[in-house]
Structure formats: C-alpha cells, structure tokens
Chains A and B, each alone.
Chain A
C-alpha cells in the first residue's frame, strides 16, 4: 500500500500548488523517503518531477540525497538497477552543477559494481548523461573515471572501459575519441588476457 501511495502521492502536488504541498505533502514525502522498503522510495523518485515542478529544486535537494545514496548501495541489485535507470531523469531535473557535486561519484561507483548488469546499465547511463550534458562535460567529468579502469587488476573491470567506449563512442566527437579512447585501446591491445584483446578488436 505504501508503495502505491508513493507512486500516487506526488501527482497531487501540481493540483494543490506550493503552499499546501509544503504543509501537507512534503511531510508525507519525507516520511516515505525513510521507508524501509526500497520499492517505496523508488516509486517516489519516479514521480519526483511533479514535486520539483511545485516546490523547486532548492528545497528538494536536502531530502533526496541521503535516500538516494542509500538506494544506490541497496543489497538487491534489481533495486540498484532501477536507480541507475532513474539517473538520467534525475540529472535532467537537478541540473549539471548539482549532478557534478553530488551524483557523479555515485554514477562512477556503479562502473565498478560487482554485478555485470549494473556495470552495463552504468555505461548506458553515461551515454544518456553525455547526451544530456554534452560530450565536453562527459570528457571532463565521467570519461576519465571510466577509462582509468583500464589499469584495474581485475580483468572484468578492465573490460568495462572497452564496453563503455563502444557504447559512448557513438555520441562522441572525433577529437575526444582520438585523444582519450585510442591510448587506452593501444594499452589494452597488449593485455595478457585474451578476452580483453578480443574486445579491443570488437570495440575498434
């Protein structure tokens, strides 16, 4: 029931407008944000734009971040996956500055997650983010974190930048590919693990 409430609650905000939202909905929202069930918190995030539209980003930030941090480290990887998938929406709503400060460390941590599906989703996430904030933003903020994994001791984590380059490369200009991607490919083509060398070939 709380899950259904979380899904429906915020749709009321645009109808009753700012004052009553602050008085009546915000306390309920904050209460649901602290709910034990991650499904409840996730449903809240799905409708966040309704609340954002009414009370504005400033008031919203304080309450969201701790809950988001918690969800991003949830034990259930499917919950984590849903948060990853919500990130581009959040990024669009919260803006670049806020994202760089608070959310980009979370997005970077997912690139090293122990579950492959999360790493894969994090790469797709990065592609979406580079479309939203532009390739220069990605080159400055996220790509160094992705590409630095090519020296990781675990070969599975060395694969991530290769998969990432294949996906994100579609949205990147030539100069960035030449400057950032090619050196990594050159290093990894000499990797001792055959799977890495094969994926270098595939990425190219």
Chain B
C-alpha cells in the first residue's frame, strides 16, 4: 500500500503494522515480512532505523520457526532495503543465529543465502561469526 498510495502517511501505515505484527496467528505475522521488505525500500534511512529495525529484529526472534524461516529467506531483500552497512551491523547476529536455529528449515534457508549474505560482510566477520556455525551443520 505504501507503494500504491504514497499519500497515506507512513505513521498511519506503521500504526496498522504495529497492531497486526503482534497477531497471535503466525500466518498473519508472516505477511509482515513482505511489508517490512516494502517499507524498507520506501522509507528514508533514518525512519528505517527508528521504526522498522525493531520490527525486523522482533520477527527474527519470533517464537514461530515459520517467521524466522521467512526472515532468513528474505534476508537479502531486507539487507538491500535497509542498506548493506546497516545490515552488516544489525542483521549479522540474526543471520548467524539462523545458522544455528533449532529448526532445520530455518538453517537451510539461511545456508541458501550464505554466499549472497557473505558478499556484504568483511572477511573478519565471516571468520568469527559465520564459519563457526557452519562447522556444526
């Protein structure tokens, strides 16, 4: 909607978003990942940091593996939206935790994005944060 009707204020949309992202059904919350990707491409960087990152972090820590799976699967879309520098700082810890997730689907999705995600990282981060998790796979 943010793409189609730019006149709707961001705050209004974010308010709607803040209500449904807490929905008890994970199938409802799942739609939130797509919204996050759209928001991240539309909002200016300051607003991404202020409003969007907290939601992305909550999704990445969601108790439902299906939500974590989607974040892992869409990690590059999110990284492009929020900017690679920002992603390196904020998404790397979550990406590393996906590689160690209890649910194998989440680990598989993360491994599938491994080569793309590593391209936005520096060698040191890969060696210290990513490779140790690969050894346990």
Contacts and interface: CB of A to CB of B under 8 A. Distances in A.
Interface of A: 1-2, 4-5, 7-9, 11-12, 15-17, 20, 24-25, 28
A4 B118 CA distance: 15
10 contacts: A1-B111, A2-B137, A4-B111, A5-B114, A7-B115, A8-B111, A8-B112, A11-B118, A15-B119, A20-B123
Which secondary structure characterizes the binding site on chain A? helix
A9 B114 contact: yes
A15 to B, nearest CB: 6
A20 B132 CA distance: 12
A15 B126 contact: yes
B127 A4 contact: no
Contact of B114 (A11, A16, A20, A24): A11
| B contact residues, range | 10 to 19
A16 B107 contact: no
Interface of B: 104, 107-108, 111-115, 118-119, 121, 123, 126-127, 130-131, 134-135, 137
B123 A17 contact: yes
A12 B114 contact: yes
A5 to B, nearest CB: 5
Given A4-B108, A11-B118, A12-B114, A28 B135 contact: yes
Nearest to B121: A15
Nearest to A27: B135
A-B residue pairs, 4 tightest by C-beta: A11-B115, A8-B114, A8-B115, A1-B108
